[in-house]
Chains A and B, each alone.
Chain A
């Protein structure tokens, strides 16, 4: 079979979605762990953030890889969604999707779009100021600024609220996404059931932790 056909094959697209999703899931795990430190210790949080912000491996290798992963996951998600809706040009007059599939599984594009919008806000809040600080203004490194910046962002109840809503949608996305990625990669053996259960736990715990962190800083200050 021609190589191009292989790259266009529906199953490989699914697998690519799954792999990029799993990659983003591991990133989320890392992210939530770092953030959680902020609840425990301001000092350790600052140290960890500083390491992440100035380690060249992370900045110049991991960060672009992450960006590519995010962009790929979104773009592919859009392409697949468009293809999927083209596969049924005339819609049903009555479609009872709730009868046979969960809301989360049917609305990955909605939860995904909310997460995308959230990423915009998140970049505006943290990443753009960070770039402006480090590269545009060229300010000297300050290993103690991170905790303060974080706390400052959660003063605003609207922003905190938006963050929390997004985290709930992230939970929805993960609820389906985790086990779905296993299925897409063809995982079906004695471990897959417990892995799926772990996935459901992950989809609850990680967003919940993000929410707790946000609310903690909002109410703690």
Chain B
């Protein structure tokens, strides 16, 4: 396959940055998108140019490190996958592909396609936990039975990989899907209920402080989420937040 890549290049956080065109040839349909970028980088290094910086790690769709806004969509045109699992068979010979970093005020660019998502971490520091110390004397794991339906829903919410595709996709750069997934996971479990009020207030407060936009329920996040995190979580968080606000 022969392709034209239009890639965002930006030397560092202060640099203005611009889209640069890179023609590339010899791409096989079985390659992953990142392997295609590996090929490009190998060529750039051999030519004495700077390779394109992009985040990636596990390359099996679970660590959440890879990002990329490809042809106008977070993680590219495929559904239910991260960029590392996107394969070149999704593209056609001769295609032009735009490759941009995830864009949001709360995700500043570090270099080229690499962004700083530590705002997500800070939201978790604000309340993404259950306050239980480690000890060998915690109650037996089977002491509190949990309705399988709730446990499964908590699990589904917990499968969020924190990649930020929801923010990148949302026309408002809202982080509601991410935050609601964590809030929901704990809200659905008896262990998490105890701190539910403070958790939702603190996490939403931090989310707002980070400069994410407001949710307008377009549903784009759910469509682009590589793990299919449901919008129901946002409704649940809204509910949790409202009742927490009323409790004060």
Contact = CB atoms under 8 A, between A and B. Distances in A.
Do A and B touch each other in the complex, judged by CB within 8 A?
Answer: yes
Interface stretch (A26-34, A164-172, A181-189): A181-189
Given A5-B205, A15-B238, A101-B220, A96 B71 contact: yes
Contacts of B172: 84, 87-88
Given A80-B216, A84-B213, A87-B174, A94 B72 contact: yes
In the complex, the 4 A-B pairs of residues with the closest C-beta atoms, listed nearest first: A96-B72, A186-B239, A87-B213, A186-B238
A105 interface: yes
A221 interface: no
A179 B207 CA distance: 24
B69 A105 contact: no
Interface stretch (B44-52, B54-62, B103-111, B137-145): B103-111
B224 interface: yes
Interface string A100-123: 111001101000000000000000
Interface in B66-125: 69, 71-73, 77, 98, 100, 103-106
B15 to A, nearest CB: 12
Interface in A6-28: 6, 8-15
A46 B6 CA distance: 65
Given A10-B212, A106-B171, 16 more contacts: A1-B201, A9-B205, A10-B204, A87-B211, A88-B105, A94-B98, A100-B218, A101-B218, A105-B218, A108-B216, A184-B215, A186-B235, A186-B236, A186-B240, A186-B241, A187-B235
Contacts of B229: none
Contacts of A183: 217, 231, 234-235, 238
Given A10-B208, A11-B204, A99-B77, A184 B105 contact: no
B120 to A, nearest CB: 15
A93 B53 CA distance: 19
A97 B220 contact: yes
Given A83-B213, A88-B105, A99 B174 contact: no
Q: Contact residue range for chain B?
A: 35 or more
A99 B73 contact: yes
A204 B124 CA distance: 42
A190 to B, nearest CB: 12
Contacts of A106: 171, 218
Interface residues of A, number: 44
Nearest to A102: B218
A93 B201 contact: no
Contacts of B231: 183
A106 B219 CA distance: 10
B237 interface: yes
B169 interface: yes
Contacts of B100: 92-94
B13 interface: no
Given A14-B215, A183-B238, A87 B173 contact: yes
Contact of A80 (B6, B214, B223, B236): B214
B213 A94 contact: no
Contacts of B219: 100-102, 105
